[in-house]
Amino acid sequence: MRFRTVARLLAVALPLALVSAAVAADTPGVTATEIKIGNTNPYSGPASAYGTIGKAIGAYFKKVNDEGGINGRKINYISYDDAYSPPKAVEMVRKLVEQDQVAALFQTLGTPTNSAIHKYVNQQKVPHLFVATGATKWNDPQHFPWTMGFQPNYQTEGRIYAQYILKNFPDAKIGILYQNDDYGKDYRKGLHDGLGEAAKKLIVMEQTYEVTDPTIDSQIANLKNSGANVFFNVTIPKFAVQAIKKSHDIGWKPTHFLNNVSSSLGTVLKPAGL
């Protein structure tokens, strides 16, 4: 439902954005019959579970084209695999901008990958629309006017979990596992800010992981051994599945808060055996 809303917003926003752009004959990615839209997605690599999002975007744009397009223009949707790798994302986005000459980037996915292309797309003045990440950094129109986020940010989500914990688990012993980048650090900051002074007493251990790590087994064992009875799990799908399985295997049964980016039934909960 959320994706369809964003895609519909794009379908509304593009004609408005192109009113003046259509006047210029040399507008990149726009002709009388076509609008080129660029995208990168992790179709492979550690975050490949998100590849379905890129495919769903393509399916929706096909529907739009089958129904006549946008003001008579068909959407040429070009999506490349960035493997959730920042250097690969830079390579693919440069290709989209400099070779394919897209009119805009839409729903490029991932905090580390979007961070890698952030300055470049703004220097090139390419619309960087509805980035598929909730990091707080996308809300900076003064310095990055061409980038626009859309989803509630990770710090806000972290503060909501904190409020719930304070109300329902006032004597909690919290263990945190988070990805060691802006995505994970935003969630961590939100939880800390939401807990306030209580964070010093309630948080008993924090563990990080790198996207390149093969497993997080040792981190889960450390969190169990810390005595934590509340688990704040800030991981992408691959590692969320591992965390759920490992917790079960070693008999650790904390109250488990799983961040929304891994709340999928099909890519996380069912593969984890729930």
pTM, two decimal places: 0.85
So what's the pLDDT on residue 150?
87
Q: What's the mean pLDDT when you consider all of the chain? A: 92
Task: State how far the alpha carbon of 207 is from the alpha carbons of 20, 81, 178, 182, 235, in Å.
Answer: 50, 29, 7, 15, 11
- DSSP codes, 38-58: EEEE-SSSTTGGGHHHHHHHH
- The torsion defined by the Cα of 198, 200, 204 and 209, in degrees rounded to 10, comes to 110
Looking only at the bridges linking them, the beta strands covering 34-41 and 104-106 are parallel
Average pLDDT over residues 117-141: 95
Taken in order of first residue, the domains within the chain and their CATH numbers are: 2-138 (3.40.50.2300), 154-269 (3.40.50.2300)
Question: Is 80 exceeded by the pLDDT of residue 128?
Answer: yes
pLDDT in tens, 63-98: 999 999 998 899 999 999 999 999 999 999 999 999
Question: Is 70 exceeded by the pLDDT of residue 201?
Answer: yes
Distance of CA 135 to the CA centre of its chain: 8
pLDDT in tens, 179-190: 999 999 999 999
